[in-house]
Amino acid sequence: MTPRKPRPTPPSSPSRAAGAPGGTVSQLDRRDGGTPPGKVLDFPTPRKSHRLRNILLAVTAVVLVLGGVVAYVVFSPALALRTVVVEGNVLVPTQEVDAALAPLLGTSLTRISPDQVRGLLADKAPIDDIRIAAEPPSTLVVTVQERVPVAVLQSGREFVLIDSEGRHLASVTQRDQVKLPLIDGGTNAVNSEVFSSITAVLAELPVEVLSRLNNASAASVDSIRLSLSGDQRIFWGSSERSAEKARVLEAMLAMPATDPPVREFDVSTPDRPVTR
């Protein structure tokens, strides 16, 4: 019998190696350039984040620049008030307005408001309202709106101009300095029952008619009388329908003179005016 030859031992498998668990070698360990375990990878910042950051920086810069410009405009001495120009005033002297507004000198034009100016002029009775306009670099124009005087009251040797509410607006020393009617009773007339009725009537008259009046009086609220230059009289009656009566009187005064001349215009009933 022929003896059997021993079988050759098969070569070790390439996937087995000493020192590896179970004799297995990781494919990743054999790959060139493999990343060692535990290393954190860095990712580039997204472009959107860059754009947002740049926008925020740009907006912040603009805000800072604008803030600086505003601060310069508001507080800059280059815009400090140095000159006040007063317009529209007749009863209040310009020097009085200038003196009252002196505390504003040196203040930036951008910080001066109409309310500030009104407050400084609040004690000037003739002033009803004001408007202001800045004219850089250093001028403020103040336009004064004055109350309208409608009559005169005698106070000793002076004559006081009053408006329809009885405010004392100004005074003159000569009666002929103002072409307004004199209300009987002196300065105490403002406390009488008929005073407001008389001034309400005078406030309705056009300037052309008002300037022709010499005197205004009333024994009662229903018997208001006015006198014109040339010894002509007007019987007004009450202050009701005064606007209509004023239009009728203006038309009657525009009529041609008659012979004999009219001595009295009665407009107490404006629908049926009468001349005598």
3-state secondary structure the chain: CCCCCCCCCCCCCCCECCCCHHHECCHHHHCCCCCCCCCCCCCCCCHHHHHHHHHHHHHHHHHHHHHHHHHHHHHCHHHECCEEEEECCCCCCHHHHHHHCHHHCCCEHHHCCHHHHHHHCCCCCCEEEEEEEEECCCEEEEEEEECCCCEEEEECCEEEEECCCCCEEEEECCHHHCCCCEECCHHHHHHCCCHHHHHHHHHHCCHHHHCCEEEEEECCCCCEEEEECCCEEEEEECCCCHHHHHHHHHHHHCCCCCCCCCCEEECCCCCCCEEC
Domain locations in the chain as residue ranges: 77-146, 151-275
pLDDT tens for residues 199-252? Answer: 999 999 999 999 999 999 999 999 999 999 878 999 999 999 999 999 999 999
> Of all residues in the chain, what percent carry a pLDDT higher than 70?
76
Q: What is the fold, at CATH topology level, of the domain defined by 151-275?
A: Rossmann fold (3.40.50)
pLDDT tens for residues 110-167? Answer: 999 999 999 999 999 999 999 999 999 999 999 999 999 999 999 999 999 999 999 9
pLDDT of 174 reads 94
Mean of per-residue pLDDT scores for the chain: 84
* CATH-assigned architecture of domain 77-146: Roll (3.10)
pLDDT of 20 reads 44
pLDDT tens for residues 33-55? Answer: 555 555 665 556 566 676 777 77
